[in-house]
Amino acid sequence: MRNLNGLLVVVAVMGVAEAADWPQWRGPARDGVAEASGLPSKWPSTLKSAWRIKVGEGHSSPVVRSGRVYLLTRQGEHEVVRGFDLESGRELWKSDYKAAYKLQSVARDHGRGPKATPVIAGKRLVTFGISGILSCWDTATGHKVWSRDFAGQHRETVPLYGHAASPIVVDGKVIVHVGGHDDGALTALDVTSGRTAWRWTEDGPAYASPVLLTVGGRRHLVAQSQKFHLGVDPASGEVLWRVPFTTQFDQNSVTPLVAGGRVILAGYNQPTVALEVTARGGRLRTDRVWKNREIAMYMSSPVMAGGRLFGMSHQRRGQLYCADPASGKVAWATRGRLAENAALIVAGDVLMVQTSGGELLVVAVDRTRYRELARYRLSESATWAHPALVGSKLLVKDRDHLLVFDLAG
């Protein structure tokens, strides 16, 4: 099998972020990897709470840039956008807009709150609400720059379980899959004006967030729709490649990951696969180099650490695993019943595993066995939103609150 380490490379999405920033979904490079300078040399028996504030419901994650925290939540019939001071928790500004949303019965346990994580682009914050309202805000004041709801462009503006795919910004364009079930458009809009740059209209949206990679010197936006994994030119919207992919109940929700020169793709009750994308003679090829049903993933996105693939499988009611990204062979897996879901952050030589049950597990990046270094109770309510790690500050969104812990003690 060919090694494409030199051909398939993650591209920085927002340019060079500051070391202590978390400006978008899953961190600076959308891969769950954090700058780890703030970790303690010895893990304490309890975590120190820095501040806690009631903010409303939702599973949208906090984002951070230059000492400011931004968060999207729901309060009543409105979606609310706030800016906070990271150090003190002081609210700097608050804006809101009416956002009607009818909850599907199959998704009632996840609530009516937004699920997509905002993205920071320079002095702009872009949010994507659960019903499909895309808005741009001034990060200093909270002033709304523009907003689009895509009403009239599609039969529905929301998919079955509410929008969950987090927008990405590439070269001044915010890219997001709008619309509803069987009728959507992967859409690029100018961040400054909100004007549409391009649209791909052949499928409805899924729930997985897009990432960037480079193949043969050309950038590809790797995205999911209801029926495909896609490679799209982020400048023009041209589809460069597509691979058929569906899951039971249309639940594509795992963020793609570039690992060991391959793209790791997964979905509910589907085998995890490694896809090689190669460019030869002006033509692109997509080859599946391995698949493994042992490590199927549902909503938890995997990470790379210490040259190994780590993830949370929904099998056996929650198994954390370590696998070889070159072959897909599992090195170890926990017994199961760990959690319904988990969000993973790589911080130096440890994994920080936040479970949907409100716990934080600190796990060694160990190729040979599961080694739990510490375990903490973060909240008594569910913690479905992905945490953010900025220096020594761990930001956690539970059902109704934003909680900040200081790992330095």
pLDDT of residue 260: 66
Region 221-246 average pLDDT: 97
Region 12-25 average pLDDT: 65
Decide if pLDDT at 7 tops 80: no
Region 329-356 average pLDDT: 96
Residues shown for the chain: 409
Rounded distance between C-alpha atoms, residue 250 and residue 267, angstroms:
10
- Kindly report the average pLDDT of the chain as a whole number: 93
pLDDT of residue 113: 95
In terms of Cβ atoms closer than 10 Å to its own Cβ (0-12, 13-18, 19+), residue 109 is: exposed
3-state secondary structure the chain: CCCCCCCEEECCCCCCCCCCCECCCCCCCCCCEECCCCCCCCCCCCCEEEEEEECCECCCCCEEECCEEEEEEEECCEEEEEEEECCCCCEEEEEEEECCCCCCHHHHHHCCCCCCCCEEECCEEEEECCCCCEEEEECCCCCEEEEECCECCECCCCCCCCCCCCCEEECCEEEEEEEECCEEEEEEEECCCCCEEEEECCCCECCCCCEEEEECCEEEEEEEECCEEEEECCCCCCEEEEEECCCCCCCCCCCCEEECCEEEECCCCCCEEEEEEEEECCEEEEEEEEEEHHHCCCCCCCEEECCEEEEEECHHHCEEEEECCCCCCEEEECCCCCCCCEEEEEECCEEEEEECCCEEEEEECCCCCCCEEEEEECCCCCCCCCCEEECCEEEEECCCEEEEEECCC
pLDDT of residue 161: 93
- Per-residue pLDDT reduced to its tens digit, 48-96: 999 999 999 999 999 999 999 999 999 999 999 999 999 999 999 999 9
pTM of the model: 0.94
Region 322-337 average pLDDT: 96
| Residue 6 vs residue 288, higher pLDDT | 288
- Per-residue pLDDT reduced to its tens digit, 149-159: 999 999 999 99
Q: At 8, is the pLDDT very low, low, confident or very high (cuts 50, 70, 90)?
A: very low
| Residue 138 vs residue 103, higher pLDDT | 138
Whether the CB-CB separation of 365 and 350 falls below 8 Å is answered with yes
Locus of tokens 């028996």? 45
pLDDT of residue 334: 97
Residue type, 316: R
- Per-residue pLDDT reduced to its tens digit, 127-157: 999 999 999 999 999 999 999 999 999 999 9
pLDDT of residue 38: 86
Q: Which pair of structure tokens corresponds to residue 313?
A: 């499988």
Q: What is the domain partition of the chain in residue ranges?
A: 24-406
- Per-residue pLDDT reduced to its tens digit, 247-299: 988 889 999 998 866 899 999 999 999 999 999 888 899 999 999 999 999 99
Decide if pLDDT at 106 tops 80: no
Handedness of CA 361, 260, 307, 369 (dihedral sign): positive
- Per-residue pLDDT reduced to its tens digit, 180-213: 999 999 999 999 999 999 999 999 999 999 999 9
- Per-residue pLDDT reduced to its tens digit, 346-388: 999 999 999 999 999 999 999 999 999 999 999 999 999 999 9
In terms of Cβ atoms closer than 10 Å to its own Cβ (0-12, 13-18, 19+), residue 255 is: buried
Q: Which pair of structure tokens corresponds to residue 56?
A: 């409303």
Give 106's Cβ-side CA count (13 Å radius).
7
pLDDT of residue 238: 98
Which of 366, 258, 334 is CA-nearest to residue 302? 258
CA distances to 39, 116, 349 from 132, rounded to whole Å, are 37, 10, 38
Name 263's Cβ contacts closer than 8 Å, sequence gap at least 6.
Answer: 8, 213, 222, 256, 257, 274, 275, 276, 277
Q: At 105, is the pLDDT very low, low, confident or very high (cuts 50, 70, 90)?
A: confident
Q: At 19, is the pLDDT very low, low, confident or very high (cuts 50, 70, 90)?
A: low
Q: Which pair of structure tokens corresponds to residue 203?
A: 């499928």
pLDDT of residue 237: 98
Q: Which CATH fold topology does 24-406 show?
A: Methylamine Dehydrogenase; Chain H (2.130.10)
